[in-house]
């Protein structure tokens, strides 16, 4: 039997997810309302436990030296994952500085001219750029600029940008699954379990790039007819903007690239330096603001505060499920279903994560599943890392199937619609569902071969 607090926490969480799927109001609003209901109704009204509120808000971590410089130890986190929030905020600041100086448009125009403005080579080039950059600056950020550049080039080269945008979204999520900093779900998993950049690179990285190669071939052969070019590429190449035209300030352009390279080095070596991911995010933000001291206000406006508020509310809602014991019940159910066998547990987590993330944004899903796999490793006595890699790959790649499956999907399709290229659910599923099943199948095979 479920207790009243468990029933209420489940109902609130389902209502929040329902509002997210409905997608008629900004996502941060239902997340924050759900968080308020969890605190006021469940924790204070039913449980009469102010201590539980404090535990979920987790504010005490922010004043601890261990939170910022943990050394080789793992930072335990329950409730709001401030490590994830601070790191993402810092990366948003750094990316805003790079975008203002024209870095992303520059690299896309460089690729376009390198392939002679031919559409099919451009498709593969942009997919590889999307996948590679998503490993370091996140899939959301990559789609913010790549969608706009694709539409600009589509108008110039006179082709339909929708298939290419869908392929770029897929590549962004696939590349993002390769590293800790690539996709929000990986940041949540990494900071929540104490995994480092190289842990992801050595485990999900290889699998992610096998999937990337497979989807490049898939999209190339599937989209050959839909990406017909109406004009001669040689004629267009003469009028295609020079990459240098994208740079707004050459000195700041190079300084922002230097900040990016330095931050990437800190992320890759954080296991050796002992610096935490939130501290690296703060360093990146401070350096960016110092370099772009005349544009501080513009950079702050460019930060997606609504996304940060969405995370905040979501962590509290997931904390309600954790503190009332709902997640432990789910973990025991999976453990009993798998019979304590790692092979079955990996299969359940991978495919359940993939299909759930297709219907529910993978950020709330992984925030909910993370404590479940932690409980599962304890209850079922299973090795935790393979469960974490299955969760990361399932949520990152499964989210590719629908327009609402991942934040990168929402960003890419929203910008396309704003520019006059609406992407229906039917068309998105037509292009994205088959390669989603293909890549998750590849992940399943490689996870079982490597870890069981």
Q: Please, which pLDDT band fits residue 235 given cuts at 50, 70 and 90?
A: low
| pLDDT score recorded for residue 347 | 94
* Average pLDDT score over residue span 371-392: 87
* Residue whose token pair is 């997210």: 20
Q: Please, which pLDDT band fits residue 326 given cuts at 50, 70 and 90?
A: confident
Centroid of chain to Cα 132: 14
339-356 per-position pLDDT tens digit: 778 899 999 999 988 998
- Token code pair at residue 242: 């020079």
Checking if the pLDDT of 231 tops 80, the result is no
Q: In whole angstroms, what is the distance from residue 192 CA to residue 125 CA?
A: 34
Q: In whole angstroms, what is the distance from residue 133 CA to residue 56 CA?
A: 33
Checking if the pLDDT of 386 tops 90, the result is yes
Checking if the pLDDT of 389 tops 60, the result is yes
Burial degree of 227 (CB within 10 A; 0-12, 13-18, 19+): buried
* Of 235-239, 408-412, 443-447, the least confident: 235-239
Pair 21, 360: CB distance under 8 Å? yes
251-265 per-position pLDDT tens digit: 999 999 999 899 988
* Average pLDDT score over residue span 412-431: 86
Q: Please, which pLDDT band fits residue 301 given cuts at 50, 70 and 90?
A: confident
| pLDDT score recorded for residue 425 | 84
Mean pLDDT of the chain: 86
In three state form, how does the secondary structure of the chain look? CCCHHHHHHHHHHHHHHHHHHHCCCCCHHHHHHHHHHHHHHHHHHHCCCHHHHHHHHCHHHHHCHHHHCCCCCCCCCCCCCHHHHHHHHHHHHHHHHHHHCCHHHHHHHHHHHHCCCCHHHHHHHHHHHHHHHHHHHCHHHHHHHHHHHHHHHHHHHCCCCHHHHHHHHHHHHHHHCCCCCCCHHHHHHHHHHCCCHHHHHHHHHHHHHHHHHHHHHHHHHHCCCCCCCCCCHHHHHHHCCCHHHHCCCHHHHHHHHHHHHHHHHHHHCHHHHCCCHHHHHHHHHHHHHHHCHHHHHHHHHHCCHHHHHHHHHHHHHHHHHHHCCHHHHHHHHHHHHHCCCHHHHHHHHHHHHHHHHHHCCHHHHHHHHHHHHHHHHHHCCCCHHHHHHHHHHHHHHHHHHCCCCCHHHHHHHHHHHHCCCCCCHHHHHHHHHHHHHHHHHHHHHHHHHHHC
| pLDDT score recorded for residue 236 | 60
Q: Please, which pLDDT band fits residue 147 given cuts at 50, 70 and 90?
A: confident
| pLDDT score recorded for residue 359 | 73
Of 71, 89, 51, 7, the residue nearest 312 (C-alpha): 89
Checking if the pLDDT of 432 tops 70, the result is yes
* Average pLDDT score over residue span 5-18: 91
Centroid of chain to Cα 69: 24
180-211 per-position pLDDT tens digit: 888 878 888 887 888 888 899 999 999 999 99
| pLDDT score recorded for residue 361 | 62
- Token code pair at residue 142: 């990559």
| pLDDT score recorded for residue 306 | 83
Of all residues in the chain, what percent carry a pLDDT higher than 90? Answer: 37
| pLDDT score recorded for residue 364 | 65
* Of 11-15, 372-376, 427-431, the least confident: 372-376
75-93 per-position pLDDT tens digit: 666 678 888 788 888 888 9
Q: In whole angstroms, what is the distance from residue 280 CA to residue 265 CA?
A: 10
Q: Please, which pLDDT band fits residue 171 given cuts at 50, 70 and 90?
A: very high
């Amino acid at each position: 039997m479920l207790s009243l607090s468990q029933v209420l926490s489940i109902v609130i969480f389902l209502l929040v997810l329902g509002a997210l799927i409905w997608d008629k109001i900004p996502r941060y609003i239902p997340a924050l309302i759900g968080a308020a209901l969890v605190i006021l109704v469940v924790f204070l009204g039913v449980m009469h436990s102010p201590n539980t509120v404090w535990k979920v808000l987790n504010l005490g971590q922010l004043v601890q030296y261990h939170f910022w410089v943990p050394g080789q130890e793992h930072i335990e986190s329950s409730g709001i994952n401030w490590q994830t929030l601070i790191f993402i905020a810092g990366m948003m600041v750094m990316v805003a500085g790079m975008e203002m100086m024209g870095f992303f448009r520059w690299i896309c125009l460089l690729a376009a001219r390198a392939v002679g403005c031919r559409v099919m080579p451009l498709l593969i080039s942009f997919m590889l750029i999307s996948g590679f950059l998503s490993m370091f600056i996140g899939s959301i950020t990559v789609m913010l600029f790549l969608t706009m550049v694709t539409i600009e080039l589509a108008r110039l080269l006179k082709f339909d940008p929708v298939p290419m945008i869908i392929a770029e979204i897929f590549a962004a999520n696939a590349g993002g699954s390769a590293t800790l900093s690539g996709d929000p779900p990986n940041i949540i998993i990494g900071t929540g379990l104490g995994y480092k950049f190289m842990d992801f690179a050595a485990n999900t990285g290889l699998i992610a790039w096998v999937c990337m190669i497979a989807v490049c071939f898939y999209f190339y052969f599937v989209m050959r007819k839909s990406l017909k070019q109406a004009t001669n590429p040689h004629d267009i190449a003469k009028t295609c903007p020079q990459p240098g035209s994208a740079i707004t300030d050459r000195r700041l352009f190079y300084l922002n690239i230097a900040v990016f390279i330095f931050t990437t080095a800190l992320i890759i070596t954080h296991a050796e330096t002992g610096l935490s991911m939130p501290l690296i995010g703060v360093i990146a933000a401070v350096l960016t603001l110092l370099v772009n001291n005349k544009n501080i206000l513009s950079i702050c406006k460019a930060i997606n505060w609504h996304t940060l508020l969405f995370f905040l509310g979501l962590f509290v809602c997931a904390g309600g499920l954790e503190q009332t014991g709902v997640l432990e019940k789910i973990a025991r159910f999976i453990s009993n279903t798998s019979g304590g066998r790692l092979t079955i547990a990996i299969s359940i987590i991978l495919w359940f994560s993939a299909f759930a993330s297709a219907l529910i944004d993978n950020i709330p899903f992984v925030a909910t599943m993370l404590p479940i796999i932690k409980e599962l490793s304890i209850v079922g006595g299973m090795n935790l890392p393979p469960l974490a890699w299955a969760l990361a790959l399932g949520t990152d790649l499964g989210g590719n199937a629908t327009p609402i499956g991942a934040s990168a999907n929402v960003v890419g399709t929203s910008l396309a619609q704003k520019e006059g290229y609406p992407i229906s659910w039917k068309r998105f599923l037509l292009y994205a569902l088959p390669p989603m099943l293909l890549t998750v199948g590849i992940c399943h095979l490689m996870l079982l071969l490597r870890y069981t």
